[in-house]
A and B are shown apart, each in its own frame.
Chain A
Amino acid sequence: MVEFPDINPAIAELWLALAAMALLLVGVLRGDSATRSVLWLGVLTLAVAAWLVWSNTDVSAVTFSGMYVADHFGAFAKVLILVGSALTMILSMDFLEKERVGRPEFPVLVIFASLGMMVMVAANDLLSLYVGLELQSLSLYVLATFQRDSEKSTESGLKYFVLGALASGILLYGATLVYGFTGTTSFTGIAGALASSEEQSVGILFGLAFVTAGLAFKVAAVPFHMWTPDVYEGAPTPVTAFFSLAPKVAALALFMRVMLGPFGGISDDWVGIIGLLSATSMVLGAFAAIGQRNIKRLMAYSSIGHVGYALMGLAASSPGGVRGTLVYLAIYVAMNLGAWGVILSMRRLDGGMVENVEDLAGMARSRPLLAAAMAIFLFSLAGVPPLAGFFGKFYVFFAAIDAELYLLAVIGVLATVVGSYYYLRIVQVMYFDEPAPSFVAPAGTTGAVVAVAAVFTLFFFLFPAPFVAEANLAALALFP
């Protein structure tokens, strides 16, 4: 007889799965009127899951026949994912109500996506990697199409679905090659097989390249970024905010785990690939955003650039680099969350949402607090000290220089300078342009999230130590 696997390390995932099904039942039985309560219950569910993960950070275990791993790295990423998902859910409440697209399935799908992300970052096998990725992606495809009466939203969902399925296919192709040449799908087994053979066969490298391409699509790194601007622009705004937060964290954490876990032994073969992805993402993110007038498209290019910086830490392939990426991701989630909160508050007095940069004109006079918060987020996104964004960049640049990736660091600094231009242009529009019609006062929920994010971004420099120490512990878990 086979023993029943130890389910204790995966308690947060189990809770999330069961609670999501219960919420689905509540939603089905109570109908659309229950949307708001299901949303709040969903936030509560995610918070409980985050607490479950947080109280078990010391657990380091492999279970489910070696397919699931719980360690400090996974815990750090999971908490980030869950907090990001919960806060975007709070952000979305007002939008869903005012645009009349709220349905109880929305929070359920967000929880399913979060569950998929948790499975991704806890993957210790190509199989669990794939099913987690698919659970996340499928939920995201549906969320992108959630405003189904809008042509743009359906277009974005369809584009995302077709291209995402293609990327999954490429990833699977790589996974089969890796399986074929190492004889195992387990990360530990692959690392062992690579360590025992002296010369790597070309097949492994092919597999590695395909897996990298598939993952690069999921994090939207150049040259696999084409889908991002269209999908970000078309999807309902709270869904776009969700896309740019938790799934990015999950995909980058998975990227780090795959590259440093099974393929950690052959890092010479992939550092160049990751370095190239990172450099091109930073450069394209900086230059392509300049000409954008739609703020959602602009944020899409901005997120491509930020993925480039985060990948720089992975290219360093050192504990310092992983620590840098994790700190970067945490700060990125905070400042991006705030920026999206402000974008979600761009509602004219006649009730319509606007999403162009010019619409922000003169906001400093009509909504001074909101404009000040947006300015904080934009300065932070640009990386101006002493705001949080500067520290994120500081740690990854530091790691890159430590790993003697001087060229990459120089490209990064130059891209930051170029990128500052379009962030600061928005600040200029808000503060110095002739005022456009005023916005309605932001909803209480949105305002609260924006305030929290602004305080975090503004005062991060006072308390970075415990944060960085936590990220350091998480990074060390990847380097046994």
Chain B
Amino acid sequence: MLIQYIAFYVFAAVVVASAFMVIAARNPVHSVLFLILAFFNSAGLFVLAGAEFLAMTLVIVYVGGVAVLFLFVVMMLDINFVRLRQGFMQYLPVGAMLGAVLLVELLLVVGAMTIKPDIEALAAPMPPVERQSNTHALGELLYTRYMYPFQVAGMVLLAAMIGAIVLTFRVRTGVCKQNISAQVARRRADAVEMKKVVPRAGVSGGL
């Protein structure tokens, strides 16, 4: 039990700290790296909560896909972040005010919220976690009950892939490409020409 508590506080503290660093870091690449750290630690929190499937998807989708994409965008596009931040102090009061309003609203919502008494039963996983891990349970549902939308979603992804290729792929002319088979198939006779060189006359025969 104690180890779980320690793990929880470590993960939670790192998540909060790295989330803060995401907005505080000067270098945008560092921001993205901190974001990845935050994702990893949130995944740790999910594992602690017994939702290992969510933890895995968080790492795969967010770290593997979204964050790497961010990194690409940040490094490829030359965005001047210093200039983006110039108006920061000027807009700070307005931003702080909006933040305060949101905070009050959130407090009101949380304060007025009542939890339905039987929600515990509704929200409990089916089948119980002790009998079957939630990855297993999700997989069973996904490939049986939800097979149809799952397959159509696959078609959606295929269409998206074809679309991306159609819109970006172009055959470029004037590019020198390596042709390995031509290189390997080259024989000595094609490449070397023997010439009888007359002294003081050169290859062209002294003309």
B147: chain A residues at CB < 8 Å are: 5, 64-65
With known contacts A2-B144, A138-B160, A128–B152 Cβ distance under 8 A: yes
B149 touches A127 (CB 8 A): yes
Given A64-B147, A105-B166, A142-B167, the answer on whether A119 and B159 have CB atoms closer than 8 Å is no
List chain B residues, Cβ under 8 A from A313.
Answer: none
Contacts of A131 in B (CB 8 A): 149, 152-153, 156
Residues of B within 8 A of A103 (CB): 166
A65 touches B148 (CB 8 A): yes
Contact B152 A132 (CB under 8 A): yes
Cβ of A2: which chain B residues have Cβ within 8 Å of it? 144-145
In the complex, how many angstroms separate the beta carbon of A66 from the nearest chain B beta carbon?
9
* A119 to B144 CA separation, bound complex (whole angstroms): 18
Contact B144 A65 (CB under 8 A): yes
- Interface-forming stretch among A108-116, A388-396, A419-427, A468-476? A108-116
Tell me whether B146 is interfacial, beta carbon within 8 Å.
Answer: yes
A111-137 with Cβ < 8 A to chain B? 112, 115-116, 119, 125, 127-128, 130-132, 134-135
| B159: A residues at CB distance < 8 A | 109, 112, 116, 135, 138-139, 142
Interface residues of A (CB under 8 A from B): 2, 5, 17, 21, 24, 64-65, 67-68, 103, 105, 108-109, 112, 115-116, 119, 125, 127-128, 130-132, 134-135, 138-139, 141-142, 145-146, 148
> Would you give the shortest CB distance from A148 to chain B, in whole angstroms?
6
A146 to B152, CA, bound (A): 23
B-to-A contact residues, CB < 8 Å: 144-149, 152-153, 155-156, 158-160, 162-163, 165-167
Given known A64-B148, A65-B145, A68-B148, contact A145–B167 (CB-CB < 8 A): yes
Contacts of A17 in B (CB 8 A): 155
Q: How far is the CB of B172 from chain A (nearest CB, A)?
A: 14
Task: Give the residue name and chain of the B residue nearest to A145 (CB).
Answer: B167
Contact in complex: B163, A141 (CB < 8 Å): yes
- In the complex, which of the residues B148, B158, B166 contacts A128, with contact meaning CB atoms closer than 8 Å? B148
Contacts of A146 in B (CB 8 A): 166
| CB-nearest residue of chain B to A141 | B163
Pull 5 A–B residue pairs with CB atoms less than 8 Å apart, ordered by A: A67-B149, A105-B166, A127-B149, A131-B156, A146-B166
A119 to B150, CA, bound (A): 13
Contact of A24 with B162 in the complex, beta carbons under 8 Å: yes
List the B residue with the shortest CB-CB distance to A183.
B122
Tell me how far the C-beta of B19 lies from the nearest C-beta in chain A, rounded to whole angstroms.
25
Closest 6 CB pairs of A and B: A142-B163, A64-B148, A131-B152, A2-B144, A127-B149, A65-B145
Asked if residues B148 and A109 are in contact (CB atoms below 8 Å), the reply is no
Q: Could you count the A-B residue pairs with CB atoms below 8 Å apart for me: how many are there?
A: 70
* Given A65-B147, A145-B167, 19 extra CB contacts under 8 A: A21-B158, A24-B162, A64-B147, A65-B145, A103-B166, A108-B162, A109-B166, A112-B159, A130-B149, A131-B149, A131-B153, A134-B156, A135-B152, A135-B155, A138-B160, A139-B159, A139-B163, A142-B162, A142-B166
How far is B160's CA from A145's CA once the two chains are assembled, in angstroms?
13
Complex Cα distance A108/B159, Å?
Answer: 9
Q: Which A residues touch B158, using CB under 8 A?
A: 21, 112
Which residue on A lies nearest to B162, using beta carbons? Answer: A105
Residues of A within 8 A of B162 (CB): 24, 105, 108-109, 112, 142
What residues of chain B lie closer than 8 Å to A139, measured between beta carbons? Answer: 159, 163
Closest chain A residue to B153 by CB distance? A131
Is B167 a contact of A148 with CB atoms below 8 Å?
yes
For residue A10, which residue of chain B has the nearest CB? B148
List, in ascending order, chain B residues with CB within 8 A of A135's CB: 152, 155-156, 159
Residues of B within 8 A of A65 (CB): 144-148
Tell which of B147, B159, B166 has the most Cβ of chain A within 10 Å: B159
Shortest Cβ distance from A396 into chain B, in angstroms? 32
| Complex Cα gap A128–B163 (Å) | 22
User: Which chain A residues lie closer than 8 Å to B165 at the CB level?
Assistant: 105
Chain A residues, CB < 8 A from B166: 103, 105, 109, 142, 146, 148
How distant is the Cα of A135 from the Cα of B166 in the complex, in angstroms?
16
Q: What residues on A are CB-neighbors of B148 within 8 Å?
A: 5, 64-65, 67-68, 128
* Bound complex: CA A66 to CA B110 (Å): 38
- One of B153, B155, B163 near A115 (C-beta < 8 A): B155
B166: nearest chain-A partner, CB-CB: A105
